[in-house]
Structure 1
Amino acid sequence: MMLSWLRDKVKTLQNKNLLLIGLTISFIALAFQMIGFLFPFWMSSNDGPYSVTAGLWQVCGMDGESECLDIQVAGPGLPGWFMAVQALTVLAVIFFILAVICAGAKLLLFKNKILFLFVATGAVFLGAVSVFFAVIVFAARRNELFFGKAYTLHFAYGFTIFGMLAAATAGLFFVLELRKIK
């Protein structure tokens, strides 16, 4: 009797571990995505005494003082591909939030509802795919922004990529959890 109870507890703990690991990694993916989403450091250019950094929403210039402008004001009209990158990253944030909420709800509230795990799995993979396309398009066409200056990629862009990789990893843990349930 005691041995079967202990065996059941170990199985329950093993089942929760994959979901908990996936939830933790998807939360990390969301945090990385938020850093990349909010900070104006997707690209930088250093022309002598004047340096420029830009993100998805702001452009900052430094010539002794730091001044940031909204990217709509700083650019002479944003190209469609850049607005698509912005839209894809917004979608990724929404998908990552949805994945964290659904995985947390499955773990804590609705232990027997498999639908929450399906939604979390789909959302985290859709977010990773959105980021994948956003970073590829941005890397390929970033030098077209702001009068064709040559820009190097900066740390917020890297955090976005790490967020994508973390989301894909979390999705794999969710898939493993789904395979255990079936």
Structure 2
Amino acid sequence: MEIKAMLIGFILAIIAFVFHLIGFASPYWINSDSFTRAVHYGLWKVCGVFSSGCADITNPADWLKASQAFAVLAFICYLAAVVCSALKLFVLKDKKIILFAAIGAVFVGAFCALLSIVIYAVKQGDIANSNLFDYHFAFAFCIIGMLIAIASGICFILEMKNS
């Protein structure tokens, strides 16, 4: 059971990292049809406002900076969880401190992702300037990544309990 829980946790940590990376980088957190064309907003870019291309969000509001910061922290924590779990699984098999680091990193990352998602969801009306918006795939990917990260952390805890 030991290696299975650790291996499953490692695979889940990789999947959570990939989901968060896609959601984090994509300018498709929300979609608004309030203009003559569809407009997509993300953490870093807005697409379709002035042309068919995307532009950086200049002078973001403080709440958007906070959401961006927590998303970056989640990204770093997920990466650290993947590295720590890989080290524990393949290199430093007898070092329990690496497992503790993986557990901490994955749960801190999930918490930071949650904060980023909640801040953005509560304040999204400030950037959409309309009630006519839908959450898009990148927003959902960050939520899915957070839930998978929690499952990964549970697997790591099971590994700790069994070892």
- Distance in 1 (alpha carbons) for counterparts of 2:61 and 2:55: 17
Q: Deviation of residue 48 (structure 1)?
A: 5.5
Q: Output the TM-score relative to the length of structure 1.
A: 0.85
Alignment pair present for 1:149 and 2:130: yes
Instruction: Look up the match of 2:62.
Output: 80
Q: What whole-Å deviation, never above 9, does each CA across 1:85-135 have from its counterpart, x for those lacking one?
A: 000000000000000000000000001000110000000000000011111
Instruction: Look up the match of 1:132.
Output: 114
- Distance in 2 (alpha carbons) for counterparts of 1:86 and 1:46: 24
Instruction: Look up the match of 1:111.
Output: 93
- Distance in 2 (alpha carbons) for counterparts of 1:48 and 1:34: 29
Alignment pair present for 1:70 and 2:52: no
Alignment pair present for 1:21 and 2:3: no
Aligned length: 162
Instruction: Look up the match of 2:30.
Output: 43
Identity %: 38
Q: Deviation of residue 178 (structure 1)?
A: 0.6
Report the AA paired with residue 25 of structure 1.
Answer: L
SS of the residue 2:130 aligns to = coil
Q: Deviation of residue 137 (structure 1)?
A: 1.2
CA contact (8 A) 2:16 2:146 kept: yes
* Unpaired segments ≥5 residues, structure 2: none
> Hey, which bits of structure 1, 4+ residues long, moved more than 3 A?
none
- Distance in 1 (alpha carbons) for counterparts of 2:32 and 2:15: 29
Report the AA paired with residue 67 of structure 1.
Answer: G
Higher relative contact order (CA 8 A, sep 6+): 2
* Unpaired segments ≥5 residues, structure 1: 1-13
Instruction: Look up the match of 1:7.
Output: none
Q: What whole-Å deviation, never above 9, does each CA across 1:36-56 have from its counterpart, x for those lacking one?
A: 111100011013631100111
Report the structure number with the largest CA radius of gyration. 1
Report the AA paired with residue 28 of structure 2.
Answer: F
Q: Output the TM-score relative to the length of structure 2.
A: 0.95
CA RMSD of aligned residues (A): 1.4
